Structure 1
């Protein structure tokens, strides 16, 4: 009789998944409140000119949002078109200068996000965006930033900043973003990007900088081999 009961439980789990086991499923990530912008304003005021100077003369873009600084590196000019996850040597300079700025300030957190356009297979896009973000992360780690201050996430095509129906729009969507902010804000951002991604058609990322400064348009388009 005991053997029969055990067999019934096993079959229930394997075939249909009994409701008795649903309580052991992984809980959804917690939502962490974003600190008010004024908490980080003093830090932003100090570091904004320093970050701008670190990327001066490069193809990187800069914007200041409510409580963080964002540096965007378009894939075009940052990665080898024949080896889509390999950085070009010209990318190392600005990344190293930014890392040097941050290494001694333990109050700063860095979140690096990889993005792709919507061409190609969804999982392949996500993996490629993760590889590109990790490539940037490696430069910051070499400068001494520890894991508790440095997070990385590949978002694939989940957060486009332009429509994917043109070459120019897809080129804008292929990018790596470096988000610099305080640790409490970083924790809130990590929680946000750990949530399940909504359908790509409903996700639109803000593209226009708050101050209109530091943005550039990339005219040259990637080769098809690196179009994601």
Structure 2
């Protein structure tokens, strides 16, 4: 009888000891929000980007919380092979890529643009190929896919009129957009929306003329 009680007590102590030795579940660490782009960050990065593209024909501008490096097609791509970069452009693009790669909070969206000459489908494909050529340099510099997206827009986003040779040349370009990684997908989605319908100037003038005539008739 005494032996049974002793055995039972020993088992209880053993179970209690095992229970006490179990590790308590640790709370999962709370993810810290990605730092927002500040004015100081923009100032600092803009200065470094200007050094990176110094001596090239690339352009740099701010758009709200974005820094945009623009590579005009003229002087950047081979005229005989329109989707192939000229050797002179490899240096500045590589310097921009090496500047961006260590900063894990920053991502890059590369957008290709074309003028309105020729078939819209071919323009979109060509603009995408040009953007991919620049994207390839960023990948070689170590930028991962979650921080790098590419899209060809064709002639959907002109920055000048397509009715002159100068305007068409300005529209043929590739834009390298630096943005917080947390907003990369939203920025990509923004440029994935269907392009608004462009109403020719003659049709706009005719529409305005009809509207004015209706106002005159209504006033009589």
Shift of 1:152: 0.3
Question: Contact 1:157 / 1:200 at 8 angstroms: preserved in 2?
Answer: no
| 1:100-144 CA distance string (max 9 Å, x none) | 101111000100000000000000000000000000000000000
Residue of 44, 52, 55 corresponding to 1:54: 52
Gaps (5+ residues) in structure 2? 1-35, 201-220
1:157 and 2:142 are equivalent in the alignment: no
Please give the TM-score of this superposition, normalised by the length of structure 1: 0.70
CA separation of 1:183 and 1:201: change in aligned 2, threshold 3 A? farther
> How many residue pairs are counted as aligned between the two chains?
165
Match of 2:123 in 1: 125
Q: Which runs of at least 4 in structure 1 moved beyond 3 Å after TM superposition?
A: none
Of the structure 1 ranges 86-95 and 182-191, higher mean CA displacement relative to structure 2 is found in: 182-191
Question: Contact 1:117 / 1:173 at 8 angstroms: preserved in 2?
Answer: yes
Match of 2:10 in 1: none
Distance 1:134 1:175 in 2: 13
Question: Contact 1:96 / 1:139 at 8 angstroms: preserved in 2?
Answer: yes
Distance 2:63 2:39 in 1: 10
Bigger RCO (CA 8 Å, 6+ sep): 1
Shift of 1:200: 4.6
Match of 2:166 in 1: 168
| 1:26-64 CA distance string (max 9 Å, x none) | xxxxxxxxxxxx744332122110001000110001111
Gaps (5+ residues) in structure 1? 1-37, 203-228
